[in-house]
Amino acid sequence: MSTDYTDIPEILKGKKFYSKAVKLITNRRLGRYFQDSCTLEHDAKYTEGELALQALYYACPPQYTPYVLSGDGSRVAYPAGLFPPVPFYQGKESHLTRLIEAGALIASEIDRLVDMTEDEYTN
């Protein structure tokens, strides 16, 4: 499977494609950038996958407790202090809202990684 996603627009030329999910996530990513000041410089300090882990936490359905695997492969509760705490389903946010936030965090992590290896994706 090719990981060269730069050709996707060429693949879609002449085809109608619209994703409400992409629009919602893009809007939230822009909100993170402009309203929450989560710029590339801000996100660059999270070098250990924290943004992706935070996205996992947001994306997790309410009936599951997020966990990480310890060195021996056993499940360990989401480590306190690894990232700023996230209120976990306090009844105010829908699962959709949390998935949009997760998508925006994934986009932030991708932006951070692409920014680090820009030549690989722009040549």
Q: What is the pTM of this model?
A: 0.67
107 — pLDDT class (breaks 50, 70, 90): very high
Mean pLDDT of 41-51: 88
User: Which domain, by its residues, includes 16?
Assistant: 5-122
H/E run at residue 33: helix 20-34
pLDDT in tens, 63-100: 665 666 667 776 665 555 555 445 444 455 688 888 99
- Can you read off the two tokens belonging to residue 68? 């990480």
Residue showing tokens 């409400």: 20
Q: Which of 36, 40, 38, 51 is nearest to 84 (CA)?
A: 51
Contact 101, 89 (CB under 8 A): no
List residues bridging with 68 in a β-sheet.
76
Q: Above 80 in pLDDT, residue 12?
A: no
| Number of domains comprising the chain | 1
